């Protein structure tokens, strides 16, 4: 049994406990501060319980997530009420990336009992999508290049009867020159490509999901320092999000005409890598003077977004690990949101707040347009 107690309810809860519980709490020197936790003795081994003092609201998915990660295998239930939204946090906390581990015995399941049967399917669906994102991002670039991203989208297309189109080689150079330019220095077998999936009734509103798929980012000729390059396998995180979200949309058969676009490249260093100062052609017909080869994400997204707009979607959502400056400004817990539609931005901010997964809107400031001119 798990007792989850809010600090404001601590004294009332404590008064209702038997002497053995109060004695144990006194021995642990617990004060009812958020984060306090202890194992509570029962009359027998099967009656022992877990106490967690938590100031998260009952609707928070993360209220008991830490317990889902730390408790030993077994079956658990909440002492009061149902887990509600916290069911998701419990499942997410049990994620492990063990693809390359062969010497570690798998921990048994930590099962949380609930009577909310209607929540179970949705919770597992969301958790599976989140695990997909984590697996794709955690996989090292040696096993997660443009070809592997293509294979992920291909598998998704086969599962849901969607149409897959992949543009590479000469067709990519002609039709999507910035995607080609950024990725052309990659080794054989890791060539750049634009991966597209289309699904749904053409009469339904068109939704475009666009993902930045830089499978590894050295920075190019403006090479990153070692510390800055260490985790750059994650630079395809935007593509991972777009792929997993597309899977959710199709699994729930939402009434949309879905268009998924993944610009998959590796920003490598080689004799044919693009250079600082190069003027690049774009699919839209504009030219771009690139002054830093480590600004590759916005280049490949430029061509992918141009392609998305050609389909006249009602909404475009693009996901990208952009930028380091946004992380400096907002820290690791607040993803930056840019939008050109106030109503849509407000709806997304409200949705994030509602599931305790907040976003923070940053401006698209017209006054900076002049600074983009070469």
Catalytic residues: 224, 298
Query: Residue 5: exposed, middle, or buried by beta-carbon count in 10 A (0-12, 13-18, 19+)?
Result: buried
Q: Rounded distance, CA 231 to CA 227, Å?
A: 8
Q: Are the beta carbons of 39 and 50 closer than 8 angstroms?
A: yes
Q: Rounded distance, CA 4 to CA 45, Å?
A: 20
Three-state SS for 75?
strand
How many CB atoms neighbour CB 205 within 10 A? 13
Q: How many CA atoms, within 13 angstroms, populate the side-chain half-sphere of residue 132?
A: 22
Q: Rounded distance, CA 238 to CA 305, Å?
A: 14
Q: Rounded distance, CA 111 to CA 84, Å?
A: 15
For 67, residues 6+ apart whose C-beta sits below 8 A from its C-beta are 2, 37, 50, 52, 76, 90, 93
What is the token pair recorded at 359? 């976003």
Q: How far is CA 327 from CA 28, 46, 297, 361, in A?
A: 39, 46, 15, 13
Q: Rounded distance, CA 148 to CA 262, Å?
A: 12
Query: Residue 134: exposed, middle, or buried by beta-carbon count in 10 A (0-12, 13-18, 19+)?
Result: middle
């Amino acid at each position: 049994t798990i007792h989850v107690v809010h600090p404001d309810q601590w004294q009332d809860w404590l008064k209702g406990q038997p002497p053995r519980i109060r004695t144990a709490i006194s021995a642990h020197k617990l004060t009812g501060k958020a984060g306090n936790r202890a194992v509570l003795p029962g009359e027998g081994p099967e009656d022992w319980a877990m106490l967690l003092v938590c100031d998260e609201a009952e609707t928070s998915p993360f209220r008991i997530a830490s317990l889902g990660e730390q408790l030993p295998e077994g079956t658990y239930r909440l002492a009061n009420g149902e887990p509600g939204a916290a069911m998701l946090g419990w499942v997410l906390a049990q994620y492990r990336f063990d693809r390359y581990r062969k010497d570690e015995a798998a921990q048994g399941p930590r099962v949380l009992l609930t009577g909310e049967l209607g929540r179970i399917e949705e919770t597992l669906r969301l958790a599976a999508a989140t695990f997909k994102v984590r697996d794709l991002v955690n996989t090292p670039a040696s096993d997660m290049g443009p070809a592997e991203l293509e294979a992920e989208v291909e598998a998704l297309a086969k599962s849901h009867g969607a149409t897959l189109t992949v543009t590479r080689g000469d067709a990519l150079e002609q039709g999507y020159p910035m995607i080609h330019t950024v990725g052309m220095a990659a080794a054989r077998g890791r060539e750049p490509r634009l991966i597209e999936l289309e699904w749904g009734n053409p009469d339904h509103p068109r939704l475009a999901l666009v993902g930045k798929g830089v499978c590894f980012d050295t920075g190019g000729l403006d090479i990153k320092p070692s510390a800055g390059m260490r985790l750059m396998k994650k630079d395809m995180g935007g593509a991972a999000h777009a792929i997993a979200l597309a899977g959710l949309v199709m699994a729930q058969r939402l009434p949309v005409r879905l268009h998924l676009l993944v610009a998959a490249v590796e920003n490598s260093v080689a004799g044919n890598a693009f250079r600082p100062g190069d003027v690049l052609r774009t699919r839209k017909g504009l030219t771009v003077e690139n002054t830093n080869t480590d600004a590759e994400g916005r280049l490949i997204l430029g061509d992918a977004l141009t392609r998305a707009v050609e389909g006249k979607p009602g909404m475009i959502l693009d996901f990208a690990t952009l930028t380091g400056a946004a992380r400096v400004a907002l820290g690791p817990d607040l993803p930056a949101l840019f939008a050109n539609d106030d109503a849509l931005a407000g709806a997304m901010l409200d949705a994030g707040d509602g599931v305790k997964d907040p976003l923070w809107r940053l401006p698209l400031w017209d006054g900076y347009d002049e600074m983009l001119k070469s």
